[in-house]
Structure 1
Amino acid sequence: MSGSTHAWMPKSPCGPSCVSGPVPRVSWLRGAWRACTALTVLLCGISLVLLAPVLRGRLRGAIRFWFATFLRAIGLRVRVHGDRRIQSTEGRGVLVVTNHVSWLDALVVDAVQPMPMVAKRDIADWPVLGPLVSAAGSVFLDRERLTRLPETIAALTTALRDGVAIGANPEGTTWCGMASGHFKPALFQAALDAGVPVRPVALRYRLADGSHTPAAAFVGDEDLVTSIRRVLRIRHLVVEVHVLPEIAPGRAEDRRALAALAESAVAAALEVPIQRELTGHLVH
């Protein structure tokens, strides 16, 4: 992951030591099979991008099936707790906010309900996944140029007013899952301006015995390939998706209060402490 380029870049204390502990592993042969299967599914995603104009009304279902198939191919099982419809009312926008642990997070949310995301700008350049994320109407955030933040908030507000469900990771960077970061208020301004609810969603990666594992995390300066290789070898990796009650418009008087409500809901669901004091907070 790239390093900070300005004083306000979100920072996390999580690093290589967080993901270096023992974890049940499948054989290298099983890991290789998962990699080959996932690559095949990934290549099929190209067809999905090309067929997007034809599928139209069936596109969301096709995208959800593709993400779910990809996650199964790499050995990850998704368990949803709560309402399986993250967007409770069709045609009414909702800002969906999750804790941020891994590059898997957005894929997991899309396997439950496909939606555009507020994503780092460099994700648009990823092979296959980048075009899929872009085609979904995602709003891209350039974390290295804070002068572009008002532009991002405006684009997010417009999409929410148009009735779109959009996902975001308000911690601004990844954490190992043993603790969570402070939810930055900036993106919540869009929900206030659009007059739409916020839906907190808590993600927890665990093993078959129910114990938490940080092995799925993508933290520090680790490169994506190393993280993918580790995930492919984890035995019985499960992600719990806790779809929490919506925070209705008017529940909070400003974006700070709204962010705090969402942050508390996610932390309570995960039963994890919140890191309150960090150097380098994103602009509030």
Structure 2
Amino acid sequence: MESVRPWAGVPRSAARLAGLLLVVLAGVLLTPFAGRLRADRRDRWVRRWCRVVVRAAGVRTRITGGAPPTGGLLMVANHVSWLDIPLLAAVRPARMLAKSEVRGWPVAGGIAARGGTLFIDRDRLRALPGTVERIAAALRAGAAVVAFPEGSTWCGRAQGRYRRAVFQAALDAGTPVQPVRVRYRSAEGTPSTAPAFVGEDPLLTSLWRVVSARGLVAEVDVRPPLTPDAHPDRRSLAGAAQGTPADTGSPAPGHP
């Protein structure tokens, strides 16, 4: 991991952390009221709030491209940080696909469940077809679903191979797949590992590393959607969504 602010930057980092927590808390408290808004107004509110969450952490955002505002859509992205979630929601609010353990997390698990998160049990292969069908049903109903097909976070300088099962849901539902590439850069423009949330990294440690980083920039590249008719099987669809190492700007798949 790269170096962060020296002790002289601690007050500013602490203020950022406090501001970030307040913004998140405000969003949680306002969620019931947002649920009463029309879908288009609610989506605008969610996108703006997510941008504020990222900005409160001291991270500037650059989003290129866009996603269709309505209709079933499977958004897939590489996974580096907890920041990926609000960044993708800033593109288009969606139901998240998360591991089943998240449901048991204090506070966050309840929020995720109320937000329509689709949980997957990675240790039970027998449950996988049912999960795929639930995702496909959500897509058929016109929802956007966000998935991180690598199955885990990576440091950003390496990348895991996209697992194919989630792409079957898009094929079954006949909905497009929207590839998204997330990168983090330092003030100097070099790739940054400060936001990476890997291994046994405690969440508070990761939060502090992000708010202490200097000039952190999140780049979100929303690429053209892929249609199921152009990629008739999940292997080719997953490969097209992930791209090549040269296309993604990262080395060949491997653990950081």
Q: Give the structure 2 partner of residue 50 of structure 1.
A: 32
Verify: 1:40 aligned to 2:22, yes or no. Answer: yes
Q: Please report how far the alpha carbon of residue 126 of structure 1 lies from its aligned counterpart in structure 2 after TM superposition.
A: 4.6
- Unpaired segments ≥5 residues, structure 2: none
The percentage of counterpart residues that share the same residue type is 43
Q: Give the structure 1 partner of residue 199 of structure 2.
A: 220
Q: Please report how far the alpha carbon of residue 196 of structure 1 lies from its aligned counterpart in structure 2 after TM superposition.
A: 1.1
Change (3 A) 1:98 1:263: same
Change (3 A) 1:41 1:128: farther
Q: Please report how far the alpha carbon of residue 48 of structure 1 lies from its aligned counterpart in structure 2 after TM superposition.
A: 2.0
> Does the aligned pair in 1 maintain the 2:77–2:182 contact within 8 Å?
yes
Look up the SS of the partner of 1:245 in the other structure: coil
Verify: 1:109 aligned to 2:91, yes or no. Answer: no
Q: Give the structure 2 partner of residue 160 of structure 1.
A: 139
TM-score scaled to structure 1, two decimals? 0.82
In 2, Cα distance between the equivalents of 1:23 and 1:90? Answer: 40
Alignment deviations for residues 54-89 of structure 1 (CA, whole Å, 9 cap, x no partner): 2243222222222111111111111012x23x2x26
Q: Give the structure 2 partner of residue 274 of structure 1.
A: 252
Q: Please report how far the alpha carbon of residue 53 of structure 1 lies from its aligned counterpart in structure 2 after TM superposition.
A: 3.5
Paired residue total: 253
Q: Please report how far the alpha carbon of residue 115 of structure 1 lies from its aligned counterpart in structure 2 after TM superposition.
A: 1.1
Q: Please report how far the alpha carbon of residue 23 of structure 1 lies from its aligned counterpart in structure 2 after TM superposition.
A: 4.4
Change (3 A) 1:47 1:22: closer
Greater RCO (CA < 8 Å, at least 6 residues apart):
1
Verify: 1:63 aligned to 2:35, yes or no. Answer: no
Q: Please report how far the alpha carbon of residue 253 of structure 1 lies from its aligned counterpart in structure 2 after TM superposition.
A: 2.6
> Does the aligned pair in 2 maintain the 1:175–1:217 contact within 8 Å?
yes
In 2, Cα distance between the equivalents of 1:89 and 1:41? Answer: 25
In 1, Cα distance between the equivalents of 2:169 and 2:133? Answer: 7
What is the identity, as a one-letter code, of the residue corresponding to 2:252? I
TM-score scaled to structure 2, two decimals? 0.91
- Unpaired segments ≥5 residues, structure 1: 1-18, 279-284
Q: CA RMSD in A?
A: 2.0
What is the identity, as a one-letter code, of the residue corresponding to 1:261? A
Change (3 A) 1:22 1:39: closer
Q: Please report how far the alpha carbon of residue 268 of structure 1 lies from its aligned counterpart in structure 2 after TM superposition.
A: 4.3
Q: Give the structure 1 partner of residue 70 of structure 2.
A: 90
What is the identity, as a one-letter code, of the residue corresponding to 1:105? D
Look up the SS of the partner of 1:176 in the other structure: coil
Alignment deviations for residues 8-33 of structure 1 (CA, whole Å, 9 cap, x no partner): xxxxxxxxxxx2x3345670000110
2:101 pairs with 122, 126, 129, which one? 122
